[in-house]
């Protein structure tokens, strides 16, 4: 399987199963559109006939180069992974937790998928006792895995700061004896940040996600305080202080959400950059169809055009020396995840689980509150293996639409929660999300090529 596309005058051919990416000239691009997957040494007469506007020797030499790629397994290479059981290891220890330390929030964001913080389950704070049981749970169930990831999430996790501090301290205290290494992330709206919390986060969190939607008016239209005021002027100075004091080797993201109300979201990305942030992520909203900011298929042309505009803006900034990175345009074509990882992507439900303040376990943060997906509890160390197996069994081949998709080894089957929320079926890809993902990948690869050429 190959995927051909052009962007801003650059022509690409992706060989899906090998991961090869080729930039080609006009003649080779035209020839590649007429190829079949069983290439022969000689260029077929029908290709010469179809491309009569090109000199015969040009078509012949372009075909010869393409045939060379075919012989070396970089064009129409075979899908070796269909017998997926040979590649996916049996058993998948749980090694990552999303700790919902606070099912409460001090913002009232209009688009919140967590029902303004409590996931529809009532406002509560996770006691340290439950967090400790969750840490013990993941240590017990992580088998030989060394790296354990724990995210402090909510609601707003800084409302449970005491639990966060005690949990980090406890996990660190058992690292040596358990042979594990913990990595911590916190996602915060910033409202409760002060100098002490900033220092703590920068000292203890491997990653911090700072929620900010972009331009002041865009942010404040969605991200309001409990009293209905905009949050921008409160949070931005705190985020700036945090990033300024943070070790540049450690990760952070300024992360926003775009909706149908700001389809010119490239301006929001640039607005965040202009405030002094260089690791950026602005992502499509997940919402119900009846929301007036819901993204729908009719929005796709505008979204695609905006992603392309964003590539121009990023390229211009980078050429000026700015080190801006946009999360969904980051792609590692050489050193990325292995193909075994790419076969089933997200580990929700079997490698990664979310834990509520009450200790209940769900496949991920987006399933919290959906009772049919409740997997057990860290309080009594129970885990429904049936649900875990259901999630572990999904991959790019069980998701039938993914089988024939050129992006399958880049996105790895997408998001089970999005699939379920939109289609009621974990294996049925969320079509709108797929289209946006494919466009982002094309942009990401374009950026690689454009930067190589410049």
Partner 1 sequence: MKHIKTLTSATLKQTAAKGGCGECQTSCQSACKTSCTVANQKCENK
Instruction: Round to whole Å and give the CA distance between 191 and 111.
Output: 18
Query: Which range in 40-48, 94-102, 268-276, 315-323 contacts partner 1 by CB under 8 A?
Result: 94-102
Name the residue nearer to partner 1 (CB basis): 195 or 451.
451
98: which 2 tokens? 């999303």
Restricted to residues 62-81, the positions that interact with partner 1 (CB under 8 A) are 62, 65-66, 68-69, 72-74, 77, 80-81
Dihedral of the alpha carbons of 22, 27, 32, 38, in degrees to the nearest 10: -110
Dihedral of the alpha carbons of 85, 91, 93, 98, in degrees to the nearest 10: 60
Nearest to 431 by CA among 407, 449, 409: 407
438 binds partner 1 (CB under 8 A): no
452 binds partner 1 (CB under 8 A): yes
Name the residue nearer to partner 1 (CB basis): 11 or 215.
11
Query: Which range in 47-55, 154-162, 205-213, 381-389 contacts partner 1 by CB under 8 A?
Result: 205-213
Asked if 342 and 87 touch (Cβ cutoff 8 Å), the reply is: no
Backbone angles phi, psi at 7, to 5 degrees: -150, 125
Residue of the chain from 76, 95, 105, 268 that contacts partner 1 (CB under 8 A):
95
Least distance (Å) between residue 228 CB and partner 1: 25
445 binds partner 1 (CB under 8 A): yes
Restricted to residues 299-358, the positions that interact with partner 1 (CB under 8 A) are 327-328, 330-342, 345-348, 351-352
Give the DSSP letter of residue 44.
P
454 binds partner 1 (CB under 8 A): no
Asked if 359 and 381 touch (Cβ cutoff 8 Å), the reply is: no
Least distance (Å) between residue 258 CB and partner 1: 11
Instruction: Round to whole Å and give the CA distance between 331 and 347.
Output: 20
The mark string for 14-33 relative to partner 1 (x by CB under 8 A, - otherwise) is: -x-xxxxxxxxx-xx-----
Restricted to residues 407-426, the positions that interact with partner 1 (CB under 8 A) are 409-412, 414-415, 418
Instruction: Round to whole Å and give the CA distance between 86 and 340.
Output: 10
Instruction: Round to whole Å and give the CA distance between 299 and 186.
Output: 32
Name the residue nearer to partner 1 (CB basis): 57 or 380.
57
Restricted to residues 210-269, the positions that interact with partner 1 (CB under 8 A) are 251, 253, 255
Quick one: which H or E segment has residue 252?
none
Name the residue nearer to partner 1 (CB basis): 226 or 340.
340
DSSP 3-state assignment of 368?
coil
Name the residue nearer to partner 1 (CB basis): 27 or 109.
27
Backbone angles phi, psi at 22, to 5 degrees: -120, 140
Name the residue nearer to partner 1 (CB basis): 292 or 334.
334
Least distance (Å) between residue 284 CB and partner 1: 7
Cα–Cα–Cα angle for 70, 71, 72, rounded to 5 degrees: 90
280 binds partner 1 (CB under 8 A): no
Restricted to residues 168-197, the positions that interact with partner 1 (CB under 8 A) are 183, 185, 187
54 binds partner 1 (CB under 8 A): no
What lies within 8 Å, CB to CB, of 244 at 6+ separation is 276
Least distance (Å) between residue 363 CB and partner 1: 10
């Amino acid at each position: 399987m190959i995927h051909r596309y052009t962007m801003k005058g650059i022509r690409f051919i992706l060989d899906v199963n090998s991961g090869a990416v080729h930039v080609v000239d006009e003649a080779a691009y035209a020839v590649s559109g007429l190829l079949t997957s069983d290439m022969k040494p000689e260029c077929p007469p029908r290709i010469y006939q179809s491309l009569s506007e090109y000199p015969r020797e040009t078509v012949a030499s372009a075909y010869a180069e393409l045939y060379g790629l075919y012989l070396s397994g970089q064009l129409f290479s075979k899908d070796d992974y269909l017998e997926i059981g040979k590649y996916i290891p049996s058993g998948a220890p749980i090694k990552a937790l999303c700790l919902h330390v606070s099912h409460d929030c001090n913002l009232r964001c209009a688009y919140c998928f967590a029902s303004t913080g409590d996931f529809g389950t009532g406002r509560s704070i996770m006691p340290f006792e439950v967090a400790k049981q969750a840490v013990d749970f993941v240590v017990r169930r992580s088998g030989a895995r060394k790296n354990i990831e724990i995210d402090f999430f909510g609601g707003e996790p800084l409302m449970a700061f005491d639990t966060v501090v005690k949990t980090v301290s406890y996990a660190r205290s058992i690292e040596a004896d358990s042979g594990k290494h913990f990595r911590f992330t916190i996602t915060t709206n910033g409202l409760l940040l002060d100098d002490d919390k900033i220092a703590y986060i920068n000292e203890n969190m491997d990653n911090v996600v700072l929620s900010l939607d972009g331009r002041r008016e865009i942010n404040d239209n969605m991200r309001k305080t409990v009293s209905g005021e905009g949050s921008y002027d409160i949070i931005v100075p705190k985020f700036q202080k945090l990033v300024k004091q943070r070790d540049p080797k450690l990760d952070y993201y300024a992360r926003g959400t775009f909706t149908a109300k700001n389809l010119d979201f490239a301006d929001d990305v640039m607005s965040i950059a202009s405030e002094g942030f260089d690791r950026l992520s602005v992502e499509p909203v997940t919402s119900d169809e009846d929301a007036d900011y819901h993204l729908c298929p009719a929005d796709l042309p505008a979204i695609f055009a905006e992603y392309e505009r964003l590539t121009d803006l990023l390229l211009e900034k980078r050429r000026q020396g700015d080190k801006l990175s946009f999360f969904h345009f980051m792609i590692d074509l050489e050193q990325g995840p292995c193909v075994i990882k790419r076969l089933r992507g997200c580990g929700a439900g079997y490698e990664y689980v979310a834990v509520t303040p009450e200790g209940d376990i769900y496949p991920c943060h987006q399933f919290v509150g959906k009772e049919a997906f409740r997997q057990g509890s860290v309080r009594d160390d129970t885990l429904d293996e049936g649900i875990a197996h259901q999630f572990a069994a999904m991959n790019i081949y069980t998701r039938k639409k993914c089988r024939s998709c050129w992006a399958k080894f880049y996105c790895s089957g997408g998001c089970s929660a999005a699939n379920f929320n939109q289609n009621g079926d974990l294996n049925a890809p969320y079509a709108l999300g797929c289209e946006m993902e494919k466009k982002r990948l094309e942009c990401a690869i374009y950026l690689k090529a454009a930067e190589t050429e410049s």
